[in-house]
Amino acid sequence: MKIKRKTLFWKLYPSFLIISFISLLAIVMIALWSFKSFYYQERAVDLEIRAKILTPEFSRLIQSGNYQEVQKQSQQLGDDSSTRITIVLPSGKIIGDNKKDPATMDNHKSRPEIEQATRYGKGLSIRYGHTLAIDSMYFAMPIIVEDEIIGIMRTSTPLDTLQNALWSIYYKVSLGFFILIIITAFASWWMSKALVRPLEVMKVQAQRLAKGDFSSRVQLSSNDSLESEQLGQAFNEIAIQLNERIEIILNQRNEQEAVFSSMVEGVIAVDSNEKILRINQAAYNILKISEKEIEGTKLTHAIENIELQSLILFALKQNTTVGQEIILHDDVEQVLYAQSAPLLDIHKNKCGTLVVFNDITKLKEFELQRKEFVSNVSHELRTPLTAIQGLSETLIEFPDLDQEKKANFIGVIHTHSIRLEGIIENLLTLSKIEKETEVDEIDFVNESITLALSNAIFLCKDKALERNINIILNEAEDITFKHNPSLIEQAIINLLNNAIKYSNGNSEIKITVVKQAHDIKISVEDKGSGIPEEHLSRLFERFYRVDKARSRALGGTGLGLSIVKHIALAHKGSVSVTSEINKGSIFSITLPLENE
Ligand code: ADP
């Protein structure tokens, strides 16, 4: 069961009230008691003085034995001084009293004041008086003659008037007491409130801080104590400091978040319980995970790739970095390089692992292409070189070979050396175009395309005529745009050479130039052998040939179309081919009209 706790106000207020009540009551009681004591003392002194004044007179009368005179004097002197006077013999017998006939009064020897007076020379008592049936104060003193007590002089006064007066004072004091209690109750209430108020203000502020509102401040009034004000200032300082720190943390977090999400590398943080702590956008993209909430889920549920899973699980057990290539099998094969590093908490204890991975598919492709290229180049060069080497060795070994054979051998050596030169020249052209494209060094001239086309046709004309092939230029308009004329000329020459090479004799080659919305399309169409469909996509690769033997026989290097493609790319353009077996092929270069 939940105990309802009192608020500070309800702890302070009743305490203040009780303390005030008890203090006031004590003060009133002490005051009343002191007042009463003082009043009684005054009366007692008064009774004593009166007794002392009257004693000589009654001493004389008792000595004379005239008890009637004693009674008479008692009455007279008592009435005159408004005091009850009682004269008692040592035996206790009363011989004078101004309020009652002594003959009717009983023996007073045992009255406390008489006993005290006989024993100690003075007696005082406050008690109920049977004679007058009223509370009275009695004072008694012995009447001594020659060291002998001959009587006792008693003076007394009723206390009813005194008590009435005291009751009136009690009444007024009680009234005052209650008024004071009410005032004190209000004062205590106000004081408790005043004490509690700053704490309440600070409680509200603390609650706001707990809810994350750091903008509000403690507002204390000038009535609040110095300590409260200092506490409030300290509280405000805490809020300002917290606000500043949280802002710094938020900024840092946002910066980290921005870096994290804009990274091209995929990042996954996994804790020691194999749960995913964080994953960035790139990781979602690379791993093709739909962007559902996977943070907090088990690694084995979130990531399907077994290789990546095993790498992360292995990395969780290691204290060093672990790197590995991972193959993702999707529609297209993707290669990642993943590297993990231990994740440390603030105490430098390992609390998980951080895996960063890159998509290196392109890199791998480039590497493969480079290897293929190197092997292709070596292969292409080795063939003519082997032939040259073999033939020249035969010529050296057999100097007596007949002239015809020698001339034949030398002719073959010459053909191979021309081929070698062709390959090397083409390779150099390719690498030059690639390099210049990379560093943006290709010069563009705003010139009519007709010039480059005419030059190319002029340079290929003889070869075409040899085979009775007619080259026709179909140019609807004179198109001027920014291009590199010598490269375009080179590309058209390559296309024309192929068209001539792979055409039957007595045919024609058509060059068509079409201006489109944003580009210009130059097509070279022949009526040659055509190319089977399956080769079309790879035709522009280096050293790719449909029929190697035929290409070589025709003096081809396998680099012509690759050069055409790179020239188009250098102009930010593209190449394409359509072909039909035995009908011919159309090779096209599309170049943008706007080039910087
Ligand atoms: P090559 O030096 O062998 O001609 P290319 O790169 O110029 O090298 O051409 C690659 C291959 O494309 C050629 O070997 C040939 O098989 C094919 N080819 C190119 N142009 C034509 C064409 N006009 N007609 C038929 N086949 C062609």
Q: Average pLDDT for residues 452-479, to the nearest whole number? A: 93
Q: How confident is the model at residue 498 (pLDDT cuts 50, 70, 90)?
A: very high
Write the residue with the smallest CA distance to atom 19 of ligand 1: 498
Residue 218 within any structural domain of the chain: no
Residues 434 and 490 in one domain: no
CB under 6 Å to ligand 1: residues? 498-499, 502, 526, 528-529, 531, 539, 544-547, 551, 556-562, 585
Residue 79 pLDDT more than 70? yes
| Dist. CA 117–CA 154, nearest whole Å | 9
Q: What pLDDT, on a 0 to 100 scale, did the predictor assign at position 595? A: 65
The residue whose CB lies within 8 Å of the most ligand 1 atoms, and thus the one to mutate among 524, 551, 554, is 551
The ligand 1 atom at the shortest distance from the C-alpha of residue 563 is 6
Sign of the CA dihedral 168, 170, 174, 177?
A: positive
Q: What pLDDT, on a 0 to 100 scale, did the predictor assign at position 1? A: 54
Write the residue with the smallest CA distance to atom 10 of ligand 1: 545
Within 10 angstroms of residue 84's Cβ, the number of other Cβ atoms is 23
Give residues with Cβ within 8 angstroms of 25, minimum separation 6.
177
* Ligand 1 geometric centre to CA of 498 (Å): 6
* Ligand 1 geometric centre to CA of 515 (Å): 26
Write the residue with the smallest CA distance to atom 21 of ligand 1: 498
Helix residue ranges, H only, 139-225: 160-210
Q: Are 492 and 524 in contact (CB under 8 A)?
A: yes
Residues 314 and 296 in one domain: yes
Within 10 angstroms of residue 534's Cβ, the number of other Cβ atoms is 8
Chain center to CA of 215? 16
Residues of the chain with pLDDT > 70: what percent?
99
The ligand 1 atom at the shortest distance from the C-alpha of residue 547 is 16
The ligand 1 atom at the shortest distance from the C-alpha of residue 524 is 23
Alpha carbon separation from 522 to 12, 185, 446, 577 (Å, rounded)? 100, 107, 17, 12
Residues 302 and 382 in one domain: no
Final residue belonging to a domain, choices 359, 376, 392: 359
Residue 297 within any structural domain of the chain: yes
Residues 454 and 433 in one domain: no
Which stretch, 81-95, 163-177, 487-501, has highest mean pLDDT? 487-501
Residue 114 within any structural domain of the chain: yes
Residues 323 and 422 in one domain: no
Q: What is the pLDDT of residues 357-386, one digit of tens each?
A: 998 988 988 898 889 888 988 988 998 899
Task: Show the tokens assigned to 136.
Answer: 């009275």
Q: What pLDDT, on a 0 to 100 scale, did the predictor assign at position 477? A: 84
| Dist. CA 381–CA 558, nearest whole Å | 12
Task: Show the tokens assigned to 351.
Answer: 């609390």
Q: What pLDDT, on a 0 to 100 scale, did the predictor assign at position 391? A: 93
Alpha carbon separation from 188 to 16, 178, 438 (Å, rounded)? 6, 15, 89
| Dist. CA 430–CA 559, nearest whole Å | 8
Tell which wins on pLDDT, 131 or 400.
400
Final residue belonging to a domain, choices 438, 463, 492: 438
Q: What pLDDT, on a 0 to 100 scale, did the predictor assign at position 447? A: 93
Q: Average pLDDT for residues 393-397, to the nearest whole number? A: 92
* Ligand 1 geometric centre to CA of 583 (Å): 15
Q: What is the pLDDT of residues 309-363, one digit of tens each?
A: 888 888 888 888 888 899 887 777 889 999 999 988 888 888 999 999 998 988 9
Residue 434's CATH number? 1.10.287.130
Residue 596 pLDDT more than 70? no
Question: What value does the mean pLDDT of the chain take?
Answer: 89
Q: Could you tell me whether strands 333-344 and 445-448 are parallel, antiparallel, or unpaired per DSSP bridges?
A: unpaired
Q: Average pLDDT for residues 302-311, to the nearest whole number? A: 87
Residues 28 and 159 in one domain: yes
What is the residue range of 129's domain? 11-165
* Ligand 1 geometric centre to CA of 560 (Å): 8
Q: Are 509 and 526 in contact (CB under 8 A)?
A: yes
**Any idea which residue has 């035709």 for tokens?**
539
Q: Are 358 and 275 in contact (CB under 8 A)?
A: no
Q: What pLDDT, on a 0 to 100 scale, did the predictor assign at position 482? A: 93
* Ligand 1 geometric centre to CA of 363 (Å): 28
Amino acid at 380: E
Write the residue with the smallest CA distance to atom 20 of ligand 1: 498
Q: What pLDDT, on a 0 to 100 scale, did the predictor assign at position 218? A: 78
Q: Are 353 and 317 in contact (CB under 8 A)?
A: no
Residue 234 pLDDT more than 90? no
Residue 222 pLDDT more than 80? no
Helix residue ranges, H only, 502-544: none
* Ligand 1 geometric centre to CA of 375 (Å): 20
Number of domain units in the chain = 4
Residue 97's CATH number? 3.30.450.20
Q: What is the pLDDT of residues 125-156, one digit of tens each?
A: 998 877 777 888 999 999 999 889 999 999 99
Specify the pTM.
0.54
The residue whose CB lies within 8 Å of the most ligand 1 atoms, and thus the one to mutate among 430, 492, 494, 498, is 498
* Ligand 1 geometric centre to CA of 365 (Å): 24
* Ligand 1 geometric centre to CA of 531 (Å): 9
Q: Could you tell me whether strands 508-515 and 470-475 are parallel, antiparallel, or unpaired per DSSP bridges?
A: parallel
Nearest to 166 by CA among 48, 40, 47: 40
Q: Average pLDDT for residues 487-513, to the nearest whole number? A: 94
Q: Are 319 and 343 in contact (CB under 8 A)?
A: no
* Ligand 1 geometric centre to CA of 138 (Å): 155
Residues 351 and 369 in one domain: no
